[in-house]
Amino acid sequence: MKIVVLDGYTENPGDLSWDELAKLGDVTVYDRTSYVEDPIIAERIGDAEVVITNKTPISKQTIDKCPNMKLIAFLATGYNVADYNYAKEKGVLVCNVPTYGTACVGQYAIALLLEVCHHIGHHDKTVHEGKWANHIDWCYWDYPLIELDGKTAGIIGFGRIGQTTGRIAKALGMKVLAYDLYPNDSGKAIAEYVDLDTLLAQSDVVFLHCNLTADNEKMINKANIAKMKDGAILINNSRGQLIDEQDVTDALKSGKLGAAGLDVVYTEPIKADNPLLTAPNCIITPHMSWGAKEARQRIMDITVDNVKAYINGSPINVVNK
């Protein structure tokens, strides 16, 4: 059985092994293929039965050109770059990796917040550049420092990752509010469930930990920002499409938003003309919160399990049943 990995580099830049996958068939691994529709995608798939991708799109056209393809396995939780409904029509299964990054993504959300509050990277840089050695005082800070104890964290999307962030925020002394379309009992031990408007109005920090849907695209927009506290902090390491980038930029420039910590943007890689690059108090990192080695190993292990289950006739983690 032929297996093709279309964009394996971000999952495995060399510190993991494809050996377990290679035991399942004739495996070809490409570091990168294309992040936009391109004939090379179908060319590389060829007559492979199993196609593994992270961000390389699998379109209707590609599915039609590759009739031997029977399984599209994502090295990720998100699968929106595949036409999964059309795949279902053609009898092609699509599976994902649902729960690999709970710990590291929640941890990273708090890391973004702590960086916003303390600007550690900036101050480390100034020390190495000699500012402290030549300073008249024994200490200094270039930005206001923010204490989180007693402040309110509002978390939009309170599944596994949201709850992980909530537990850490609570340990820092924060009150935790949560908004989720499907509240669950495990979340009630961590946070108070409220409606979205209440969360926006009462939170000093708003975290986004929700899936992207047609209903919540650009949910952090001018209208909802107006409902937030003056000087509130926005943290997003979920999906870049959840925010209106121009509206967030305007709010940061006006001071309505005090700061933002972002690990995702609307179009990735970020475009040179993205307005957020001009915004003050805006920390942006390159969609890396998922990338701890431990998390990537879980992706590898679950992907291998997904392919094994398909081979054995009992597919798992199928998103287009």
Is the C-alpha dihedral spanning 35, 67, 83, 303 positive or negative? negative
- In contact, 263 and 237? CB cutoff 8 Å: yes
User: Euclidean distance between the first and final Cα of the chain, in Å?
Assistant: 23
> Tokens standing for 46?
């060829």
List active site positions: 239, 268, 287
Which single residue is written with the structure tokens 């107006």?
Answer: 226
Q: Reduced to 3 states, what is the DSSP secondary structure of residue 27?
A: strand
> Tokens standing for 204?
């000093």
Sheet order of strands, 93-95 included: 26-29, 2-5, 50-53, 71-74, 93-95
CA-CA distances (angstroms) from residue 219 to 155, 176, 208, 213? 14, 20, 10, 10
Measured distance CA(82)–CA(86) in Å, rounded: 9
**How many residues are present in the chain?**
321
Among 149, 121, 111, CA closest to 235: 111
- In contact, 106 and 238? CB cutoff 8 Å: no
> Tokens standing for 128?
């190495």
Measured distance CA(292)–CA(254) in Å, rounded: 35
Strand 205-208 and strand 282-284: pairing? unpaired
